[in-house]
A = this chain, B = another copy of it.
């Protein structure tokens, strides 16, 4: 289409952490990028509201700057617009206007792509321009490229991911230091690892958006974000790590997708993982994704979840990808999903899938508790696997654990509802699935 272009010109909109990381890589790694693409990659224009006041990486002095994104998307020099604004407001306008003006678009915007990705891809397709979004999920792991190209020949059956670095940092710290959630969260906030309002992270919404994008990539279906079951990590306590350790497990906020003949089951929730599982080795702010294919068996991808430079690598790699597409006169753009057309989401019926669960109780101790709980479980058709109790330090607030054999979400919810009416329970039971082999 622009087969005779002699350099690829990039406009960056948004100069927050990811924007500055991207800019730094485009400047510092210029020589190697030219070797890789075949022509130089140049930054033609920078845009942010504070572009004239903020400190930019060395080498950015001579680049044209604006505070109005319209200057970038209408700049005839610009071939590729990188939307690094974030959110679902202006970002959406930037992308649409850029495509309408014939620009290729690269975005790091997980929230927008989870909500409107299919629609934006449709617009890109009509405009005949590439749209890439590697940076939107797990910045330091090229999972989009893996699913879209690397293992596109496979048929994905299941996926499990640790996709929120803040939660993984908090859980890892709780485990290492035997400290409580609130204490570790406060520290993470002080260190800048968690936001002042931590809800998007600790309540699982960020991970849920990422799972929606990965599900579209892997299974080719458009998943309404709100339809995904989500549960955050606020209720996980230090005592749960003690019990998990007894069971040779650890606890992670796990995004899970499982495809069966009945449909696709998606969930985000704290989950017990056997310590022997490779996912259990993912600590701190790292992300990881485990993929199970019908033919390729299991593979595993691990790297930084975020950070200006790792996410910048994803943006720059997408810019090279877009450049290669522009350099061809490709009629059939590669979809940012593995599939060219996404189909509707067919959720698996909740009763179609069973897994073992961990139930943690806090009770005022009295006679006959186990009998009560065992009866309720039996009445819901749930078999007990084990009952565990650490040395008792407080008879008035006594934690203990029951692990149960594979049951459906509905069975467990039913039992837990009944249990919640028992007056000696200090709080409703904490329920976490235990990951078995897929």
A304 touching B299 by the CB < 8 A rule?
yes
The segment from A48-56, A112-120, A227-235, A314-322 that touches chain B is A314-322
A278 touching B302 by the CB < 8 A rule?
yes
A36 within 8 A of B: yes
The residue of chain B having its C-beta at the shortest distance from the C-beta of A37 within the complex is B340
The residue of chain B having its C-beta at the shortest distance from the C-beta of A295 within the complex is B309
A140 touching B296 by the CB < 8 A rule?
yes
Distance in Å: Cβ of A115 to nearest Cβ of chain B: 23
A146 within 8 A of B: yes
> Per-position contact with B for A199-242: 1 when CB-CB < 8 Å, else 0?
00000000000000000000010000000000000000000000
The segment from A152-160, A248-256, A357-365, A425-433 that touches chain B is A152-160
The residue of chain B having its C-beta at the shortest distance from the C-beta of A278 within the complex is B281
Distance in Å: Cβ of A291 to nearest Cβ of chain B: 9
Distance in Å: Cβ of A234 to nearest Cβ of chain B: 29
B145 touching A149 by the CB < 8 A rule?
yes
A38 within 8 A of B: yes
Residues of B within 8 A of A339 (CB): 35-36
Distance in Å: Cβ of A164 to nearest Cβ of chain B: 18
> Per-position contact with B for A310-353: 1 when CB-CB < 8 Å, else 0?
10111111111100110111111010001111000000000000
Q: Which A residues from 158 to 210 make CB contacts under 8 A with B?
A: none
Q: How far is the CA of A145 from the CA of B149 in the complex (A)?
A: 7
Distance in Å: Cβ of A416 to nearest Cβ of chain B: 35
Could you say which of B142, B295, B309 contacts A312, with CB atoms under 8 Å apart? Answer: B295
Q: How far is the CA of A339 from the CA of B150 in the complex (A)?
A: 18
Q: CB within 8 Å of B: which residues of A?
A: 3, 21, 24-25, 29, 32-33, 35-38, 134, 140-142, 144-146, 149-155, 220, 278, 281, 293-304, 307, 309-310, 312-321, 324-325, 327-332, 334, 338-341
